[in-house]
């Protein structure tokens, strides 16, 4: 068996940075080893007060609805923020947005007043990007209780971007994800009305959810997936849950499954010690998002562009508009085959169970047997 099917993770995921210059429109070119046409872009400026902005090519990169602006009647793009429960009209309608993807990057455009979210002058911007299927989608029709919509899937990278319309049926409603094996990480958001973000990790168990826009711990939502975990064919959305299946509700779902040498989704238990747990991923991480399943902790994002040396200390919180933070109480070593916690609280509270999603900079061993080097 090959060590990995992806020798260059930058073909499917890149964490890149650029400095804003207020030019609009502006083409941003990636700098990874491979060209990457992004289908899911998660962006955040280092400055304070700017939202995280998430958008994708399944729904489209057009400017979102924004009352009082030139595109008031459309088109309707998919810009949303994990630091807000809002619909797909903020923050991009006012502060700039991503207007399209390129063969190796994307284009930023000014919003109703300026482009501060995507291209603030002299400010460092982060663009975490995933390639899926270049925007080419497969349509699926509503059938009985099952929602209709469209998706794009990349089985090599273990990633699907799914748009669907809920049925509100009080039953187990299935949506084919196309991955060929069960998803291990799901993120849902109802997109045209105010609603929380819902996250699920396969280690959490059925109908347990975490809310991305809050510090809440995981909780039971009996209708979230109607008591049925995803399988190799379908995601199940539950009954009348407004989080996943309101009648005529429009939803985005991001679905991932672990790919050896490229991605990993799991949990670990903190020990409250500077010599914290080591978590094996099978690759040198480029980007990880962490969240304690207990209440009171933030969704913390770390990557090797913002922290190039161990231990990593720079971080973003997905549930806030805070600037990039630097701390001595959130420290992690990114190693050649995983990561190790190096603080005694925050990301390593004693007896807390943490969920994580991680993507690679390099596989631990390439398909030809060449090992990665430690940082």
User: Phi, psi at residue 336, to the nearest 5°?
Assistant: -70, -20
Instruction: Write out pLDDT tens, residues 68-110.
Output: 444 444 455 678 899 989 887 655 566 788 889 999 999 998 8
More confident residue, 327 or 289: 289
> CB under 8 Å to 202, separation ≥6 — which residues?
182, 183, 184, 185, 229, 230, 265
CA dihedral 207, 212, 213, 218 (to 10 degrees): 40
Calculate the alpha carbon distances from 121 to 24, 55, 325 in Å: 11, 22, 20
> Does the pLDDT of residue 251 top 80, yes or no?
yes
pTM over 0.85? The answer is yes
d(CA 124, CA 316): 13
d(CA 52, CA 296): 20
Q: Which residue has the tokens 């849950």?
A: 241
Sign of CA dihedral 6, 105, 15, 216: negative
Give the residue with greater pLDDT, 374 vs 157: 157
In percent, the amount of the chain with pLDDT more than 70 equals: 91
Are residues 167 and 184 in contact, defined by beta-carbon separation less than 8 angstroms? no
Query: pLDDT grade, residue 373 (50/70/90)?
Result: low
pLDDT surpasses 70 at 63:
no
What pLDDT does residue 222 have? 60
Report the alpha-carbon distance of residue 92 to residue 321 in Å, rounded. 14
Chain centroid to Cα 316, Å, comes to: 13
In this prediction, residues 247-260 reach a mean pLDDT of: 96
* Cβ pair 18, 41 in contact under 8 A: no
């Amino acid at each position: 068996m090959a060590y990995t099917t992806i020798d260059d993770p930058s073909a499917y995921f890149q964490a890149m940075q650029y400095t804003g210059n207020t030019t609009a429109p502006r083409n941003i070119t990636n700098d990874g080893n491979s060209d990457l046409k992004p289908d899911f872009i998660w962006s955040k400026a280092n400055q304070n007060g700017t939202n995280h902005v998430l958008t994708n090519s399944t729904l489209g990169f057009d400017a979102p609805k924004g009352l009082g602006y030139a595109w008031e009647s459309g088109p309707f793009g998919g810009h949303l923020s994990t630091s807000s429960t809002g619909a797909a009209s903020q923050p991009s309608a006012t502060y700039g947005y991503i207007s399209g993807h390129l063969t190796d990057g994307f284009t930023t455009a000014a919003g109703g007043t300026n482009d501060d979210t995507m291209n603030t002058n002299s400010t460092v911007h982060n663009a975490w990007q995933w390639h899926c299927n270049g925007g080419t989608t497969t349509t699926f029709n509503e059938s009985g209780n099952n929602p209709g919509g469209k998706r794009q899937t990349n089985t090599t990278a273990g990633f699907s971007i799914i748009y669907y319309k809920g049925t509100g049926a009080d039953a187990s409603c299935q949506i084919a994800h196309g991955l060929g094996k069960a998803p291990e990480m799901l993120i849902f958001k109802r997109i045209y009305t105010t609603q929380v973000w819902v996250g699920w990790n396969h280690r959490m168990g059925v109908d347990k959810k975490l809310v991305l826009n809050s510090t809440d711990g995981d909780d039971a939502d009996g209708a979230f997936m109607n008591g049925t975990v995803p399988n190799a064919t379908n995601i199940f959305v539950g009954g009348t849950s407004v989080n996943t299946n309101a009648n005529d509700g429009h939803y985005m779902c991001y679905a991932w499954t672990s790919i050896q040498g490229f991605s990993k989704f799991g949990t670990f238990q903190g020990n409250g010690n500077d010599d914290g747990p080591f978590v094996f991923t099978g690759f040198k991480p480029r980007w990880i998002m962490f969240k304690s399943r207990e209440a009171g902790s933030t969704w913390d994002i770390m990557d090797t562009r913002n922290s190039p040396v161990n231990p990593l200390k720079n971080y973003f919180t997905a549930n806030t508009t805070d600037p990039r933070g630097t701390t001595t109480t959130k420290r992690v070593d990114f190693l050649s085959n995983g990561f190790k916690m190096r603080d005694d609280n925050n990301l390593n509270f004693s007896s807390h169970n943490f969920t994580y999603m991680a993507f690679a900079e390099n596989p631990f061993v390439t398909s030809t047997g060449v090992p990665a080097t430690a940082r």
